[in-house]
Amino acid sequence: MTDASGLRVVAVADADSFVKWSASLLGAVPGLRPQLLLVRTPLTVSAEQERAAREGTGVAATDVTRLDLAHVAAWLDRQRPDAVLLAGRGPFVRLLGRVIDSLVHRPVVVSGLPGMAIPAQRGALEYRRHTDLLIVHSHREVRAFAELGERIGVPVPLALATLPFARGPHGGRRRAERAEARILAGGVSRAALADRPTEPVADAEPRPGATDVVFAAQALVPADRAARADIAALLVRAAEADPDRRVVVKLRARQGEAETHLDREPYTGLFGAARPRNLVFSHAPMATALETAAGLVTVSSTAAVEALAHGVPVIALDRFGVSKSLLNTVFVGSGLLGGAGEIVAGRFRRPHPAWLRDNYFHPAAESDWWDRVQELVALRRAGALPPRRVPAARGGALHEAWHRASVLGREDRSISGRLALAVGAPAVRLLSGVRARRSPEGASTWADPSTDYTLEPNPFADSLRR
């Protein structure tokens, strides 16, 4: 990765996972002192979430600015960055893209996703189609988004980065590279859902001095309350099976704080008052939680990659199956999928070497995102990079107001925004219902195991408005 001296780069973000991702990604570029601009939306991190997200990234509190959307354009015009990293959910990226379109000195516009992105979702690509570069984090994701773009006619330039959380503090990447070096010369095959291996990698040896079982809670999956209650009961069993170890439920937000995704059934409400004393909740950064972890449990969280990079073995819980709607097909072929019995017994797993290089542990030399950014900056300075502008909404001013109010929520105090929400919210619900009824049963690509992408909207009730 080449030195970034002389380049000005700003990450524009709001939600916790995007703040952590953008600060970690830019903080790892040699010679770069990135700025972080936090735009006020219903998802914007609290001061404590911001501090946790910045920990270990090299981005200091003095590098962070918080603004209302109305002041973003003037601030960017004063700063005149060479590149802007739009780090937020799709509608946020589109809204900020319109702001950048208004700037006198247009920067290179980069976007990306803050974690594992298999399956590649149509909405994720559509919302970011007008950025100059889309960052993904594995060779598998490069293929998936390229195939998706070709399928729907949305060509977006792609670049590969090392997932910031896959670097590890003590040689996690070197361990991964040694493991992938053992792959046979024939290369890495693509595993379909039907190819799930029956034999896991041998159980990992306990880490000296580390005894915690860390569960990475997720807002979206499983969505069903009964399934989430089942996980809570499983964690109680794991705690009762060995009172000398802690079972740590790692949460993303405290009471009153927002998360990137809406958690309708938080785990704090799924345990009885008499839960075991060694079952605890934690809001510490994931890297801190992993320091004392003997193993990590998740359904499909990117925390699994972070754990492997820290040398912590993993169980990707397949108790509810393996499907795109559980966001866990990425683990097919990894050797990490396991059930309740393995968790209670503490039989955590290392990944199959053949899975690593294709899935987040490629050699660092293969990450080309920063070189691509520098090339785009040079082209923009030379006047040879045409802007990829966000087109006006097809429904005119009221539709524009709907887009803005959908992202800003209560932070949008305009009359047009309130009117657009009053008219638009029922219309969107009606349209979604009509589309659902028109979809042929069984035709959804969310149920298709032969691809790593989806064409339909995601099935999660996950509005930006809270």
Q: Measure the CA–CA gap between 252 and 283, rounded to whole angstroms.
A: 6
* Vertex 352 angle, CA 348 and 355, to 5°: 125
Average the pLDDT over 452-465 and give the result. 84
Average the pLDDT over 318-325 and give the result. 96
State pTM to two decimals. 0.90
**pLDDT the model gives residue 262:** 80
pLDDT at 365 over 80: yes
Do the domains spanning 9-168+363-381 and 172-356 agree at the CATH topology level? yes
Output the six-digit token pair for 146.
Answer: 């390229």
Find out whether 327 and 462 touch, Cβ atoms under 8 Å. Answer: no
**pLDDT the model gives residue 184:** 30
* Vertex 363 angle, CA 360 and 369, to 5°: 75
3-state secondary structure of 70: helix
Mean pLDDT of the chain: 88
pLDDT at 421 over 80: no
**Domain locations in the chain?**
9-168+363-381, 172-356, 396-454
Predicted confidence band of residue 395 (pLDDT cuts 50, 70, 90):
confident
**pLDDT the model gives residue 299:** 98
**CA dist 234 to 124, 143, 149, 185, 436, Å?**
33, 36, 40, 41, 34
Kindly indicate whether the domain formed by 172-356 is annotated with CATH number 1.10.3470. no
**pLDDT the model gives residue 254:** 87
**CA dist 206 to 225, 294, 299, 317, 329, Å?**
33, 6, 22, 19, 27
Predicted confidence band of residue 178 (pLDDT cuts 50, 70, 90):
very low
DSSP state of 44: P
* Dihedrals phi, psi of 137, to nearest 5 degrees: -125, 10
Find out whether 133 and 373 touch, Cβ atoms under 8 Å. Answer: yes
What residues have CB less than 8 Å from 74, skipping those under 6 apart?
none
Residue 337 β-bridge partners: 316
Burial 329-343 (b: 16+ CB within 10 A, else e): bbbbbbbbbbebebb
Q: Where are the beta strands (DSSP E) in 270-352?
A: 279-282, 293-298, 314-317, 337-338
Find out whether 327 and 220 touch, Cβ atoms under 8 Å. Answer: yes
* Dihedrals phi, psi of 216, to nearest 5 degrees: -85, 100
**pLDDT the model gives residue 185:** 30
**CA dist 163 to 225, 360, 434, Å?**
31, 6, 38
3-state secondary structure of 39: strand
How far does CA 465 lie from the centroid of its chain? 19
Find out whether 140 and 118 touch, Cβ atoms under 8 Å. Answer: yes
Sign of dihedral through CA atoms 261, 282, 241, 202?
positive
The CATH code belonging to domain 9-168+363-381 is: 3.40.50.2000
DSSP state of 329: G
Predicted confidence band of residue 6 (pLDDT cuts 50, 70, 90):
confident
Output the six-digit token pair for 435.
Answer: 């589309």
DSSP state of 62: G
DSSP state of 339: -
Over pLDDT 90: what percentage of the chain? 73
Q: Measure the CA–CA gap between 91 and 95, rounded to whole angstroms.
A: 6
409: left (phi over 0), alpha (psi -120 to 50) or beta: left
- Of the two residues 236 and 165, the one the predictor is more confident about is 236
Q: Where are the beta strands (DSSP E) in 299-379?
A: 314-317, 337-338
